[in-house]
Amino acid sequence: MRIGQKLIHLESVDSTNNYAANLVKQGRLTSGTVILADEQVSGRGQRGTEWHAEPGKNLTFSLFVDEVNLSVNNQFILSQIIAVGIHDFLEKQGLNASIKWPNDVYINDKKIAGILIENQLSSSRPMRSIVGIGLNVNQCEFVDFNATSIQLETGVFHPLLDTLYSLADALEHSFHAVFSENFDINSRYMQLLYQYQQSCRYSDEKGEFMGEIVGISSIGKLQVLKSEEGIQEYSFKEIVFL
Ligand code: BTN
């Protein structure tokens, strides 16, 4: 899959994920196509949140992933491929990022990138996915958000299209490593995992507690050691990092 060889560049759109989903419905997107927007007026985040990014200063785009052998059972691999790819791209900029489960990218306790993967499942064909990525590039002020950007971290302005193409290279490399070189993405993901094996504060349906992330299950659930109850497994909406 060549990522970004086909690029649809929009000035303004509600959400690049919505735009991509419409094109997929019409059968008009090929795998690897990137939909990039200078501005999203209704950018979407995980858990039904909004994604805010100052227009013209950040990367907000969606990547269409088709013809990759993924199913409902191994869909977490896609999250891992994308998160590790973003990490590797940031490493090339001299930045040391970690991955907050399931797929946020952090630098020193501040969020630099978010990922929203929306899968299209059908019994008659392999899974297709729209991978939405928001990467903070040149934005230097974040009101009410614990966030950072490449410029804030490096002190240097980064041209957006160059940044997009370097990121696309890193993502392509991450896909290739997994599907052509049998790269152990799971071990790599665990090495980069935020708060892994540290005692930290979380909350679940029973309230707040101190726990320690001890692993990830094969379907991507977070395994947390909760002192009295032993190891608990959480899906995305069931645990909050405090
Ligand atoms: C999150 O961390 O909550 C996920 C954020 C994902 C934001 C990106 S920006 C491009 C794409 N289009 C959207 O509406 N959302 C994703």
CA distance 221 to 223: 6
Span from the CA of 231 to the centroid of ligand 1 (angstroms): 31
Tell me how far apart the alpha carbons of residues 47 and 148 are, in angstroms, rounded to a whole number: 21
Residue 47 Cα: closest atom of ligand 1: 3
CB atoms within 10 A of CB 123: 4
Tens of pLDDT along 15-45?
Answer: 999 999 999 999 999 999 999 999 999 999 9
Q: Quote the CA–CA distance of 193 and 84 in Å, as a whole number.
A: 10
Position in ligand 1 atom list of the atom nearest CA 104: 2
pLDDT of residue 115: 97
Question: Which of 42, 82, 110, 133 maximizes ligand 1 atoms within 8 Å of its Cβ, making it the mutation to test the pocket?
Answer: 133
Residue 168 is predicted with a pLDDT of: 98
Q: How far is the CA of 228 from the centre of ligand 1 (A)?
A: 36
SS (H, E, C) 191-218: HCECCECCEEEEEECCEEEEEEEEEECC
Helical pair 76-92 and 160-181, crossing angle rounded to 10 deg: 130
Nearest protein Cα to ligand 1, atom 11: 132
Q: What is the pTM of this model?
A: 0.95
pLDDT for res 231: 96
pLDDT digits (tens), the chain, 242 positions: 899 999 999 999 999 999 999 999 999 999 999 999 999 999 999 988 999 999 999 999 999 999 787 777 788 999 999 999 999 999 999 999 999 999 899 999 999 999 999 998 777 777 899 999 999 999 999 987 899 999 999 999 999 999 999 999 999 999 999 988 989 999 999 999 999 999 999 999 999 999 999 999 988 999 999 988 899 999 988 999 99
What pLDDT shows up at residue 34? 98
